[in-house]
Amino acid sequence: MLTLQKLTRASVVLTFPALCLLLLVFAIPIVQLFFNSINAPALSLVNYVTFFVHPANVRVLIQTIEVSIVATVICAIIGYPTAYLITAASKQVRSVLVILVLIPYLTSSLARTYAWVMILGDRGLINNLLLDLRVITSPLPLIYNRMAMYIGMVHIMLPIMILPLVSVMLGIDKSQVAAARSMGARPFSAFWRVFLPLSLPGLRSGALLVFILSLGFYITPAALGGLRDAMLSTFIAAEVQSSFNLGRIGAASFILLAIAMTVLAVLRLNPAGPKGNAASDRRNRFPAAGALVRHLTELGTLRRARRWNMHLYRAGDATHVWRFIGITVVIFTLLFLLFPGVVVIIVSFSAGTQLEFPPSGFSVQWYRSFFADPSWNRAALSSFEIAISVTIISTILGTLAAYGLSRSAPMLRNVLTLVLLAPITFPVIVVGIAAYLGLVSFGLVGSKTGIVLAHSIGAMSYVVVVVAATLANFDTSLEQAAKSMRAGPFRTFMRVTLPLIRPGILGGAVFAFLHSFDEVVISLLVSGLSIRTLPLKMWENIRHEIDPTVAAVASLLMLLPVLWLVAMYFIWWRSRSRMQAASARMLAAV
Amino acid sequence: MNAPVRTLHPLAKDRPLEKLALSEQIEFRNVTKLYSQVTAVRSLSLTVGRGEFLTILGPSGSGKTTTLMLLAGFEAPTEGDIRIAGKSVASVPSYRRDQGVVFQSYALFPHLTVRRNLEFPLEMRGIRSAERAARAERILSRVHLDGLGDRMPSQLSGGQQQRVALARALIADPPILLLDEPLGALDRNLREQMQGEIKGLHKEFGITTVCVTHDQEEALTLSDRIVVMNAGRIEQTDTPEALYDRPVSRFVANFLGDANILDDPSFAVESDTPQPDGTVAMIRPERIRISAPGATKSADADQRQHVAGTVTDMIYAGPLRRYHVAVGDNDVVIREHVAAGRQIFQIGDTIQLDWLRSDIRFVTT
């Protein structure tokens, strides 16, 4: 009894169920994969040598890095000003804008990729339009090339860049920029010297998330890219389908993982959130240039000091043009994010035998065919079943783990957080292969239980991130207060902690559900072709353009995040005072 | 609801603590608390009598909050023992101890109404809902918050939240009340008002109270006794008056009020008692008189020491005038009430200071 009590007082115990699941489904297999890659026990690097000997492989590797960097840079270039403008908007406008960014973020990436097929395809929106206008006589090759791949990738990744930026920018004390201006800084240098450095943590975590996701990206490159645009993940997937040589797969996976980890280590970012080493950030990056700039600044100070008063009362004047440019940028970004969804919804009501834009007539035939076709119904049903099981498992395990982490010593907490978040920091294809190997040893490949377990590890990571962020905001003296009033640990948790972190837990549950409901890559590997989830069936249809019903499914999937947002709004609205904090934390976490 | 035992306690200053054994409520025996290598509290021994109001005073990092957390059961001592009413509680978790705690942040449950907050400790003790409601109503009116029971804590002002926190800590009639910087978050006027409130409640409930603060004024007004802590150790334990009048160390003298340390070796301090080794002479600013060099001496001149000095600064502070005077190498501060007919000195003036030899104190360095 006493030892049990002592054990339960060590809160790290609460992370054990989550760690157990992770160990069995993910960690042990990944070690196994590593040993396979070095031909253990022979310990040879032959698989790695073989990889690098083939120029084609090296080309794929370089291409993967190149595509990831370009996609990250484009996201940063579009995302930073957009985030800045969102932050600068009035409170109401801002929350609307954030929701408009959140909707695509929460929408199935499969549905969004499909939208670009609809737009860029040979019989897609653009080609049809140009053909109708007789600008061209035969369709332009817009799809299946590098350009289409970038458009699709940036479209998918942009919210992931914007959201952390917005959350960091909202946290910046505006009076600091005002202070810089009061000291004679022009608007631009106030931005450059004060705002930009303070917003760098957001830029860094956004860029990191985009880069790492791009590295392991499979769906969009495979659907929109050309044959020559293979990414490392495509290579690994092909290897899985053709030979299933574990040594070669392992080598490629660990090369991919090594790149991801190197970037993580170099940017020294804790994937748990965009907080962290802000202090090390403030060091001057360009000492020499800095001195020169400072000298020039001093020369201009007197004149500027005189102008400062004028400027103070003239804020709106010269900014008319800037206002216009700003609004245009935001509108274009949002159009880019939301328009493809609208296209799919419109197309899904096409009347003809094929999907077309603009539709020649209105019909709900594809919806009817979705609801009438047993194979679609079965797929939807399994997806719901799996997603609900995943949500329950991962919410319980993830919440316990997050709670345990928040009450553990900092060192232990950091290490365990990194471990628990591995399923969403590792390239998804690597996670899929690990999960496959893990399920093989339990004979669960091709079973619903197997898919549930494979989805649960990633879903759990999301729950841990969101709940941990909520808990970081939690005043522990509330728990102490409860205990001082004779509430034991269990009652304290149920009566005080749980009600207060409920928004975070529900937010985590939503993420867990969506993670499972949209998952393609891992499902593809562990379903063993015997189970079809909705995304798997959609993916098949998108690749082979069999059944236009997929447009109806995609449209329905677009509705899902809207429903979730409405639900979350009501959950948070009920705890109004905490809504602001919770949503800010959520943003910081995602 | 008056507590007769309380009257014993003002005697604490003259009486060896062992003689109070019968009425002591809380006892720390050589308690040490280590936080991964850092010693927060080192071999601390302390007793608190039944019904006493004891304040632990110290700068941040002195270990005062750790001491309170140990007492509340949120931390366990690394060494030593804590006893409450004669029983060791070192391994008793906070939720099995019977005490009310008021937190610096108040720690009102934001998701419960004021009434539900107040009923929480009763609910945890298994008291029926009808009685809970009645007691909540009674204590609400006692802290002058009638009619606010259905508000959420966020809808209350700082002072009202403070009252709810106090009421919540007292509602279950615990024998011990712990206050962690209870008035830290309030503005000056409200703070004075709440000091009176706390004092009244303490008297009325006769509850043994341990309060932690860094605010000397709060400590002086509220407490029966004050413990001054520094770097994890107790510097001195005494009644407020004794502490101010007879500080044992330089730290205590400086922490409570202003102190003039006369440590210039070229300057011989006269005193009625011999100066112990390892001490310096100290005198409070308000014990020093300032006058023009040739001024007529008072009747008790033979009991006074007279020294010459130069005014280096004069600060006008409402009812008081503060002089800084250089006496040898010492910077001596004098506080004088502003009154009609009193001579005002300017910077650079040579003046004469004098004080009673019996007002000199020797404090350890």
Residues A547 and A443 in one domain: yes
B168 with A485: Cβ contact below 8 A: yes
Q: Which residues of B touch A578 (CB under 8 A)?
A: 110
- Among B95, B109, B168, whose Cβ lies nearest the Cβ of A486? B95
Residues A49 and A23 in one domain: no
Each residue's pLDDT expressed in tens, for chain A with a length of 590 residues: 445 555 555 788 889 999 999 999 999 999 999 998 888 677 788 889 888 998 988 999 999 999 999 999 999 999 999 999 998 888 888 888 988 998 888 888 889 999 998 888 887 888 888 888 888 888 888 888 899 999 999 999 999 999 889 888 888 887 887 787 778 777 788 888 888 888 988 898 889 889 988 988 888 888 888 888 888 888 888 888 887 888 888 999 999 999 988 888 887 554 444 443 333 333 333 333 333 333 334 334 434 444 444 444 344 445 678 788 888 999 999 999 999 999 888 888 888 777 777 777 888 888 998 999 899 999 999 999 999 999 999 999 999 999 999 888 888 888 898 899 899 888 899 999 999 999 998 889 889 999 999 999 999 999 998 898 888 888 889 999 999 999 998 899 999 999 999 888 988 898 899 999 989 999 998 988 788 899 999 998 888 876 788 889 999 988 888 888 887 777 766 654 444 444 554 544 54
Could you tell me if residue A118 is inside a domain? yes
B109 with A478: Cβ contact below 8 A: yes
Q: Among A58, A40, A56, A38, which Cα is nearest to A48's?
A: A38
End-of-domain residue from the set A276, A300, A326: A276
B105 with A484: Cβ contact below 8 A: no
Residues A255 and A147 in one domain: yes
Least confident of A286-290, B95-99, B117-121: A286-290
In three-state secondary structure terms, A355 is coil
Radius of gyration of chain B (CA): 24
Local structure of residue A496 (DSSP, 8 states): I
Best mutation target among A411, A412, A484, A498 (most B Cβ atoms within 10 Å) is: A484
Q: Which residues pair with B26 in a beta bridge?
A: B48, B84
Residues belonging to chain B: 365
B103 with A578: Cβ contact below 8 A: no
Chain A contact present for B153, CB below 8 A: no
In three-state secondary structure terms, B254 is helix
For residues B146-173, average pLDDT: 92
Could you tell me if residue A560 is inside a domain? yes
Interface list for chain A against chain B, based on CB atoms closer than 8 Å? 475, 477-478, 480-489, 491-492, 495-496, 499-500, 575, 577-578
The average confidence (pLDDT) of chain B is 87
Residues A103 and A250 in one domain: yes
Give the model's pLDDT for residue A5.
52
Could you tell me if residue A306 is inside a domain? no
CA distance B98 to chain A (A): 7
Best mutation target among A486, A505, A572 (most B Cβ atoms within 10 Å) is: A486
Q: Which residues of A touch B119 (CB under 8 A)?
A: none
CA distance B110 to chain A (A): 8
Who has greater pLDDT, B130 or A542? B130
Cβ-Cβ contacts under 8 Å between A and B: the total is: 71
Could you tell me if residue A294 is inside a domain? no
Give the model's pLDDT for residue A178.
79
Residues A16 and A70 in one domain: no
Give the model's pLDDT for residue A268.
59
CA of A73: how far to CAs of A160, A338, B50, in Å?
13, 21, 70
Report DSSP letters for A170-230, one per residue: HTS-HHHHHHHHHTT--HHHHIIIIIHHHHHHHHHHHHHHHHHHHHT--HHHHHHS-GGG-
Nearest chain B residue (CA) to A477? B107
Q: Tell me the ipTM for this assembly.
A: 0.80
Q: Which residues of B touch A500 (CB under 8 A)?
A: 109-111
- Among A475, A489, A577, whose Cβ lies nearest the Cβ of B107? A475
End-of-domain residue from the set A228, A251, A276: A276
Give the model's pLDDT for residue B338.
83
A483 with B93: Cβ contact below 8 A: yes
Give the model's pLDDT for residue A254.
92
* pLDDT 10s digits, B17-48: 443 444 678 999 999 999 877 888 999 999 99
Residues A549 and A416 in one domain: yes
A486 with B99: Cβ contact below 8 A: no
Q: Is A474 left (phi over 0), alpha (psi -120 to 50) or beta?
A: beta
Structural domain boundaries, residue A217: 45-276
Residues A469 and A396 in one domain: yes
pLDDT surpassing 80 at residue B295: no
Cβ–Cβ < 8 Å for B309, B350:
yes
Give the model's pLDDT for residue A234.
86
Residues A92 and A130 in one domain: yes
End-of-domain residue from the set A250, A276, A302: A276
Residues A151 and A28 in one domain: no
CA of A17: how far to CAs of A11, A20, A25, A308, A439, in Å?
12, 5, 12, 61, 18
Nearest chain B residue (CA) to A492? B95
DSSP H helical ranges for chain B: 64-72, 114-124, 129-142, 158-170, 188-205, 216-222, 240-245, 250-255
For residue B103, give both structure tokens: 């937190």
The total number of structural domains in chain A stands at: 2
Chain A contact present for B294, CB below 8 A: no
Could you tell me if residue A535 is inside a domain? yes
Could you tell me if residue A342 is inside a domain? no
Which amino acid would we find at residue B9? H
Residues A439 and A557 in one domain: yes
For residue A110, give both structure tokens: 């499969």
Nearest chain B residue (CA) to A498? B111
Percent of chain B with pLDDT over 70: 94
Rounded Cα distance between A276 and A588, Å, is: 12
The domains found in chain B, sorted by start residue, are 4-251 (3.40.50.300), 262-364 (2.40.50.140)
Could you tell me if residue A330 is inside a domain? no
Nearest chain A residue (CA) to B99? A484
Rounded Cα distance between A106 and A560, Å, is: 8
B72 with A484: Cβ contact below 8 A: yes
Residues A260 and A370 in one domain: no
Q: Among A510, A535, A513, which Cα is nearest to A524's?
A: A535
CATH assignment at residue A379: 1.10.3720.10
